[in-house]
Amino acid sequence: MTVSFRTASGGRIDRDRTIRFTFDGTAYRGHPGDTLASALLANGVRLMGRSFKYHRPRGVLAAGAEEPNALVSVDRGGGRWTPNLRATQVELHEGLVATSQNRWPSLSHDVGELNDVVPPGVFSAGFYYKTFMQPASAWANLYEPFIRRAAGLGQAPSQADPDHYTHRYAFCDVLVVGAGAAGLAAALAAAQAGARVILCDEQAECGGGLLGERDAVIDGVPASDWAASTLATLSGDKRVTLLPRTQCFGAYAQNFFGLVQRLTDHLPHPDPRMPRERLWKVRARQVVLATGAIERPLVFPENDRPGVMLAGAARAYVNRYGAKPGDRAVVFTACDSGYAAAHDLTAAGIVVSAIVDLRPGPDGPVAATARGAGLDVRSNAVVTGVEGRLGVRAAMVATIAGNGLVGPSERISCDLVLMAGGWTPAVHLHSQMRGKLRFDAEREMYVPAAPVEGSRSAGACNGTFGIAEALAEGFSAGADAARAAGREWSERDWSPVVSGEIVPDGGFHGAVPHDRDVQKVKAFVDFQNDVTEKDIRLAVREGFRSIEHVKRYTTNGMATDQGKTSNMNGLAIAAGSLGKPIPEVGLTTFRAPYTPVTFGAFAGHSRGDLFDPIRRTPTHDWARAQGAVFEDVGMWKRAWYIPRGGETMHAAVLRECRTVRETGGLFDASTLGKIEVVGPDAAEFLNRLYTNPWTKLETGRCRYGLMLNEAGFVMDDGVVGRLAPDRFHVTTTTGGAPRVLAHMEDYLQTEFPELRVWLTSTTEQWAVIAVQGPNARAVLQPLVADIDMAREAMPHMSVREGTICGVPARLFRVSFTGELGFEVNVPAEYGQAVWEAIWAESQKHGFCAYGTEAMHVLRAEKGYIIVGQETDGTVTPSDLGLDWAIGKAKPDFVGKRSLARPDMLKPDRKQLVGLLTVDPAVVLEEGAQITAEASPVKGTAALGHVTSAYESAALGRSIAMALVAGGRSRLGETLYVPMPNAAIAVTVVEPVFLDREGSRLDA
Amino acid sequence: MPEIARRPALPAPGEPFPGVAVTLAPLPAAARFVLRGDLAAVAAAGNAFGVALPSRINTASTLGARSALMLGPDEWLLVADDTSAPDATWALVRALESALGTVPHSLVDVSHRQTAIRVEGHEAALTLNAAVPLDLCEEAFPVGMATRTICEKAEIVLWRTGPRAFRVEVWRSFAPYVMDLLSAVSQENVPD
């Protein structure tokens, strides 16, 4: 196709260079500076999409972020597929591949359009709710798949996103959102005051509306030249950060703003190292909102046909992009800005057949000038319909008579109908900041009532439409913002001289009158969601009063569009139907994001291996080399089991358990939380935080500590060793480490500030190697020179400081297996070397390395609990049979008072017991419910649940632990664990299965 | 007795990425202590450690290879870059404990708990700001400032040692995450 819709000259495109691109497989040419929308228009392509519900043919409506119709998918190759991009925002680049959406088999022949010829009312508001109610199963199987196929936006990408994304925190004195007249002036003023400024604009080129002005002159230079020179000034200032292609999509607490910057989508061959997008997390002392205004469509029949577009958009296409959206235009206007479009189109060589002005008497200078230029201006007139399905062929134009009746209509041939319904200030960010809005009754628009602290609105988003006024207001806002941010500056006023602009004045809300059968025509309010005037009236008729309900029932203003072009018209129609003035009906909430933001941008680097920190212990590499299989415990990777020669997990765990009991094993316990509690009041502090008494614990001895929360429930446990009168080495569970430290700090700072004690996390200071088994001492003895490890010299539950393999160490004699055991603590960077030395020594005794699964089995055989497995936040020490761990003589400890509550003392509380299946080969499922009968009546409450269940190598049978109501009084009883196939009979026993007297520990 | 070698939390750095205006380098082993206590402890410890402990929060004092960072109202991180062997570290502990005597305090060796990464170059602050939510311009975060903060999902201590140089102190198991994250960021800051 030849380029037949380019203007002869002008615009901000680079006419010397040609760009090739494709749309729906057809090759076209455009120029640098084009958007996909402008390039398609310049190629005479009007049809760019199909509507969401009715599959109606659609062209481009707007020229910016508010575009509801021309949604396209862009394929950048290699899985880089982005749906639902607004063609008005897609920058043209060499090789761009774009396709239309929501059509099959093609854009011009879409079988889905049948939707549009079904009888009136069938797809009206609430249709889905009314029609697809029953039966419920049909929703998932029939209706939803059908609707999803028929109605929708583009296809989601099918491959993992190969691009990468990044984040940046940024700080500034003044953030200016929007680089139009007001924003540029604000940035200029703030920069002159020495402020750190960030100026962002969603478009590729900063300048906003100034770039689309043909005749406007600012202080003697054309508006676009003024914008260029201002940008040059700003970019030369090191304290100013200019961010084009950057959408400020959300405003959050304390002047925190979310910005997304497009870095590579506009480049034909981006450097693969570059992120596709950068999410800016900006903390601004002050913000100037200069987000402009959005032109309103006029709501009349067939106002959605390709070739019907906003007047301001048409101006942008001819003036900025040198693209003619048509050859013959009818301008339908209720605002003076329609006249500006008529003049600019005429200058671009487009015939303006008529200006149809809805207002009764446009007899001001603007209309007079138009008439003087030979234009056909009709006042008190309306467009009552549009001919042409895939593109406008004619507009029907009629006059409103004195009695309010419309007609008859005159047919005016044209291929372009412009709509100038007035401008709606883009108050989204102000509103997101919880700013109140005020309804300007005279101009019928919502504007910011008063600025939110730390913010100012300037220019069109503040209802200030003229360039001169916007510049002055922006400059003043920028200066004030800089001053409020602490920059000294006296000058604050600037009164630029602007000529050659037509200031928008006037506007219309709601549906315009016409002479057509209202049941048979569609006058669109929300183009993206296919909501018509009828739908909103129907919603009100059916009883919806709140505008929020009308919105949801009709879907007006929903989804990615968020009602940018439709909110005010929808509101006015609802208000009219309700017989209320607009402000009494209210306004829907402005939600972030202003335009859609990719998941990639939010995720940033937090994907793959960087999704979360992967914490590895000092001996991780050794375990990996041994073929260990790891499990995730919080962020840690822990060796789960270490199979030998193709062993299954089952075989490996049985072997590891057996080896530990027969001779011994090594276990990596480095992930256990460790807290050094130091100070003259350390023992007293522990007295208050743990249930146990600490005062009399001798230096060099250890004690099992049990920690409760204020409610009296077990929150953590661990062995605590006393290294000195004023120094304790506290251990916690792996997962509980940060929680326990925070809990301790909380009490220390808020409840016990008088205690002279300090807490330091040492979790990562120490590598911990558990050496467990009958030969544990024999393995360690040769490596320890300065600690007497003899049975009596170093009894169970003791700790010594000394050296192991010449490395400073803390040696604990503790056991979580029931065997003679030691835990070797060495500084982390020596961990692997010491492990290897112990390993080498241990091989003389046939030791194995064992993982967390074997550790679990070994401790369960001894009835040792694991907090978080045997406990669930509702379990008391007594429930666990741990009354012995409570220092009953202590005046107080955290949770003590709660333990005396009547509910905590009930005999039928769930108590820890052991379970032995009648069939020893059956291993119960952890979490399974326990009942008194094999086949309880449906609805019978369970007595409890299985907390741990394993196959025990030592016992040659399965074992389990469980929490059972009144469990300790049920010893010997038979209970049942109902499973899908059959109930499993179990016998209740003491929760200690092996070496109840503890003789192995004392070895 | 077998040979006992140290294994640092971070391997030695690879070749710096060409054209990137920031260098990321793991720093050698150092002795580190967390000192908690009041002003009496501060005075005693400063003498023994070799550098006066700062009394303004979030600042660091450095003399030679010894630095002290005030991270909380009663908390200092002492870093001795000239000390790493166990004997020397232990000697330093004894010297400090001896100087502190009966003054109530807590001195805990955290030499192996954490490791350090040097972030240096023209884009050091920009690189860090991909993950660190603090204003790192020199007005707000001058040379000598040090604070506990986060690096995306890891806790770090960030210490500005020069106009274009920072030291990141991070717990050892989080160090690879921080290094990999900053490294990924450093490689993407190519000119637009």
Do β-strands A26-30 and B154-162 pair in parallel, antiparallel, or remain unpaired? unpaired
Q: Which residues of chain A have pLDDT under 70?
A: 1-3, 111-112, 114-124, 126-152, 362, 490, 492
In chain A, residues 874-913 whose CB comes closer than 8 Å to chain B: none
Mutate to test the interface with B, among A616, A621, A760, A768 (most CBs of B within 10 A): A760
* Orientation of helix A682-689 relative to helix A737-750, angle to 10°: 110
ipTM above 0.90, yes or no: yes
Q: Please report the domains of chain A, with CATH numbers, ordered by start residue.
A: 19-114 (3.10.20.440), 165-293+425-491 (3.50.50.60), 297-421+506-518 (3.50.50.60), 523-584 (1.10.10.1100), 672-762 (3.30.70.1400), 907-989 (2.40.30.110)
A833 touches chain B (CB under 8 A): yes
First to last CA, chain A: 93
CA dihedral A481, A486, A488, A493 (to 10 degrees): 10
CA B33 to chain centre: 11
Cβ contacts of residue A41 below 8 Å, gap of 6+?
A5, A60, A317, A321, A323, A324, A325
Beta strand residue intervals within A894-973, DSSP E? 910-917, 929-930, 944-952, 957-965
User: What per-residue confidence (pLDDT) applies to A146?
Assistant: 62
Each residue of B107-128: pLDDT tens digit?
Answer: 999 999 999 999 999 999 999 9
- Residue A126 burial class via C-beta count within 10 angstroms: exposed 0-12, middle 13-18, buried 19 and up: middle
User: What per-residue confidence (pLDDT) applies to A1?
Assistant: 44
User: What per-residue confidence (pLDDT) applies to A222?
Assistant: 96
User: What per-residue confidence (pLDDT) applies to A142?
Assistant: 65
User: What per-residue confidence (pLDDT) applies to A117?
Assistant: 57
Segment holding A83, helix H or strand E: strand A81-86
Mutate to test the interface with A, among B20, B39, B155, B173 (most CBs of A within 10 A): B173
Please, how many CA atoms are within 13 Å of residue A341, restricted to the half-sphere of its CB?
Answer: 37
Find, in chain A, the residue whose alpha carbon is nearest to that of B140.
A171
Tell me how far apart the alpha carbons of residues A651 and A729 are, in angstroms, rounded to a whole number.
36
CB contact under 8 A, B4 and A613: no
CB contact under 8 A, A676 and B106: yes
CA A997 to chain centre: 56
Query: How are the residues of chain B apportioned to helix, strand and coil, as percentages rounded to the nearest 5?
Result: 25, 35, 40
A967 in Cβ contact with A876 (< 8 Å) = no
Provide the shortest C-alpha distance from residue B25 to chain A (in Å): 18
User: What per-residue confidence (pLDDT) applies to A131?
Assistant: 59
Q: Is 80 exceeded by the pLDDT of residue B19? A: no
State both tokens at A816: 């979580």
A187 in Cβ contact with A478 (< 8 Å) = yes
User: What per-residue confidence (pLDDT) applies to B187?
Assistant: 87
Nearest to A229 by CA among A238, A239, A240, A218: A218
Q: May I ask the CATH architecture of the domain B23-188?
A: 2-Layer Sandwich (3.30)
CB contact under 8 A, B74 and A758: yes
In chain A, residues 754-773 whose CB comes closer than 8 Å to chain B: 756-758, 760-766
Q: Give me the residue from B107, B113, B153 closest to A612, CB to CB.
A: B153
Residue bearing the bigger pLDDT, B16 or A953? A953
User: What per-residue confidence (pLDDT) applies to B130?
Assistant: 97
**Domain locations in chain B as residue ranges:** 23-188
Find, in chain A, the residue whose alpha carbon is nearest to that of B133.
A169
CB contact under 8 A, B172 and A263: no
